[in-house]
C-alpha cells in the first residue's frame, strides 16, 4: 500500500522518558490527527482500533471518534476478517479504494500517456496517444483533459472521485510551483502554470515534476522497494537522472537535481542544444546517435530508430550504443563514487537494447569507481515498462492525496 512520506526534523529537544508506555506530556503523538490515523492504517502499522490505541496512546473514545470519521467520509472500511479463535471476531481496518482515484500523466517529446489508478496505487487503465509537446500547453493539456474523462467513463468512475493528478514533463520543473523553467524541447511552456489548468477543470491539486523523477519513483516503489539509495538513468532523446536517497525522491534545492545530460564528458567537442559542447546528451543521447547514423546513410530520425537498427543487427548502431554506454558510465562512475547507491537502473528509449547499453555502462563504472562503492552495486535495466512514467506520476498523486496534511485539510472541521 502506498503511503505519503513525512519529512522528519533533524534536531529535536530531549524530553523525559515516557512512563508505562504512555506518551510524554507535551510531545506530539503519531496518529493524533485524522490524517495520521489514516497513515497508520494505509501503512499496515495498524489494522484494528486496538492497534491505533496501542501505537498512539490515545484514549479508546478518541480512537473511535477518529476511525468513525474516516469511515463516514469514505476513507476507511472496517470488516470482520473471520480470524477469531473464540468470541467476537476482530474487525480489520483498510483503506477504501473504490471511491477514490488519481491520475498519472506522462508527457514526452512526442507522446502522451495517461494512467488512472485507485488511491491504493492499483492501475485501472491507461491510454497512450501520439502528441507533440511542442504543440504547446493549451493543445497538450486539453488532450489530457479529454483523455482523462474518457478513462474515468471507461472505468465507471465519476470525475468527483478524482483526488489528485501527477504530471511528468520532459524538462526542468520548479516543483514547488509546478512550472517548467526554460525547458529546451517544450517551446511555449516556460513558467506555464500547469497546476492551475487542472484546478480549473477538475478542482484538484496537480503535482508536476520532471519525467525522470517520476520514473525513478515508480521504479523504486514497484520494482526495487527494498532499495533505499538508487540512481535511475533515463537514456532517450535526452539524458537525466532521478535520485532516490534514503527511500525518498531527492530534487535538490530548486528541483534541478540529476540534470546529468549537460555534464561535460572528457575532451569531447560535440555541440549540444544547450549551447555548450561536450555534453553527455550530445554524445550519448538518442537524437545524437540518430544524427550520426543518418550521416552514415542509414534511416534514423530518433532514438527509436537507433533501437530498431540495433535489433536488426546493424553493426554501426550496435557499436554506437555500446560507446554511448561507456560515455554514460564515465559520468555515472563519478556519481557512484559520490553518492554510493545500492542500485543503478537504466531506462528510457535506448534501454530497450539494454544488453549493448549496459555492457558499456558497466565497463566504465567498474573501471573508474572505487571498489568499495561497486562491491555490492547492482546495475539493472528498468522493470516498470512503458507505463513507468505515468504510474510514477500516479504514485506522486497518491502520496499527496494520502498525506496526513492533505487528509486533514479535506476533512477540516470533522474532528476538533
Domain 101-215+389-406 class, CATH top level: alpha beta
Q: Domain-by-domain residue ranges, the chain?
A: 34-96, 101-215+389-406, 226-382
Give, for all 416 residues of the chain, the pLDDT tens digit: 343 333 333 333 333 333 333 333 333 445 589 999 999 999 999 999 999 999 999 999 999 999 999 999 999 999 866 455 556 667 899 999 988 999 999 999 889 999 999 999 999 999 999 999 999 999 999 999 999 999 999 999 999 999 999 999 999 999 999 999 999 889 999 999 999 999 999 999 999 999 999 999 999 999 999 999 999 999 988 899 999 999 999 999 888 899 999 999 988 888 888 888 899 999 999 999 999 999 999 999 999 999 999 999 999 999 999 999 999 999 999 999 999 999 999 999 898 898 999 999 999 999 999 999 999 999 999 999 889 999 999 999 999 999 999 999 988 854 44
E-strand ranges in 157-282 read: 162-169, 173-174, 179-180, 205-210, 230-235, 239-245, 248-250
Angle between helices 49-56 and 60-72 (to 10 degrees): 130
Contact 100, 372 (CB under 8 A): no
User: Which CATH number fits the domain 226-382, given the four candidates 2.60.40.10, 3.30.420.40, 3.20.20.70, 3.30.565.10?
Assistant: 3.30.420.40
C-alpha cell at 64: 473511535
The residues pairing with 91 across neighbouring beta strands, listed in sequence order, are 80
The residues pairing with 222 across neighbouring beta strands, listed in sequence order, are none
Report pLDDT for 198.
97
**Same CATH fold, 226-382 and 101-215+389-406?**
yes
Contact 382, 346 (CB under 8 A): yes
Report pLDDT for 299.
93
Specify the long-range contacts of residues 27-32, CB closer than 8 Å, at least 24 apart: 29/56, 29/57, 29/58, 30/55, 30/56, 31/55, 31/56, 31/58, 31/66, 32/56, 32/58
Report pLDDT for 18.
32
**What residues have CB less than 8 Å from 139, skipping those under 6 apart?**
none
How many Cα neighbours within 13 Å face the side chain of 38? 33
Contact 174, 254 (CB under 8 A): yes
What dotted CATH number matches 34-96?
1.10.10.10
Amino acid at each position: 500500500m502506498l503511503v505519503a512520506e513525512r519529512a522528519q526534523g533533524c534536531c529535536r529537544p530531549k524530553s523525559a522518558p515516557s512512563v508505562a508506555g504512555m506518551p510524554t506530556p507535551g510531545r506530539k503523538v503519531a496518529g493524533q490527527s485524522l490524517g495520521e490515523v489514516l497513515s497508520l492504517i494505509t501503512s499496515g502499522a495498524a489494522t484494528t482500533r486496538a492497534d491505533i490505541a496501542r501505537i498512539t496512546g490515545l484514549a479508546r473514545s478518541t480512537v473511535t471518534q477518529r476511525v468513525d470519521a474516516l469511515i463516514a467520509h469514505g476513507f476507511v472500511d472496517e470488516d470482520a476478517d473471520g480470524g477469531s479463535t473464540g468470541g467476537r471476531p476482530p474487525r480489520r481496518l483498510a483503506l477504501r479504494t473504490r471511491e477514490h482515484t488519481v491520475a498519472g500523466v506522462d508527457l514526452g517529446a512526442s507522446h502522451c500517456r495517461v494512467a488512472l489508478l485507485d488511491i491504493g496505487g492499483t492501475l485501472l487503465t491507461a491510454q497512450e496517444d501520439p502528441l507533440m509537446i511542442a504543440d504547446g500547453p493549451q493543445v497538450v493539456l486539453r488532450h489530457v483533459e479529454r483523455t482523462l474523462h474518457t478513462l474515468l467513463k471507461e472505468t465507471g468512475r465519476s470525475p468527483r472521485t478524482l483526488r489528485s493528478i501527477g504530471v511528468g514533463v520532459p524538462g526542468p520543473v520548479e516543483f514547488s510551483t509546478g512550472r517548467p523553467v526554460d525547458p529546451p524541447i517544450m517551446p511555449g511552456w516556460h513558467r506555464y502554470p500547469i497546476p492551475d489548468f487542472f484546478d480549473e477543470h477538475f478542482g484538484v491539486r496537480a503535482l508536476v515534476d520532471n519525467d525522470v523523477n517520476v520514473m525513478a519513483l515508480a521504479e523504486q516503489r514497484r520494482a526495487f522497494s527494498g532499495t533505499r539509495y538508487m540512481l535511475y538513468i533515463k537514456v532517450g532523446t535526452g539524458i537525466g537522472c532521478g535520485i532516490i536517497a534514503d527511500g525518498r525522491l531527492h530534487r535538490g534545492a530548486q528541483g534541478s537535481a540529476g540534470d546529468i545530460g549537460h555534464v561535460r564528458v572528457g575532451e569531447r567537442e560535440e555541440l549540444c542544444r544547450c549551447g555548450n559542447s561536450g555534453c553527455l546528451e550530445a554524445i550519448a543521447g538518442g537524437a545524437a546517435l540518430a544524427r550520426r547514423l543518418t550521416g552514415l546513410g542509414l534511416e534514423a530520425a530518433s532514438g527509436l530508430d537507433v533501437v530498431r537498427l540495433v535489433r536488426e543487427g546493424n553493426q554501426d548502431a550496435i557499436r554506437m550504443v555500446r560507446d554511448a554506454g561507456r560515455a554514460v558510465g564515465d559520468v555515472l562512475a563519478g556519481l557512484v563514487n559520490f553518492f554510493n547507491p545500492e542500485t543503478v537502473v537504466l531506462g528510457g528509449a535506448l534501454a530497450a537494447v539494454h544488453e549493448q547499453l549496459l555492457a558499456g555502462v558497466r565497463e566504465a563504472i567498474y573501471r573508474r569507481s572505487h571498489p568499495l562503492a561497486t562491491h555490492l552495486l547492482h546495475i539493472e535495466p528498468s522493470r516498470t515498462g512503458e507505463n513507468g512514467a505515468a504510474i510514477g506520476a500516479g504514485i506522486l498523486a497518491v502520496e499527496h492525496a494520502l498525506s496526513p496534511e492533505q487528509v486533514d485539510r479535506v476533512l477540516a472541521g470533522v474532528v476538533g
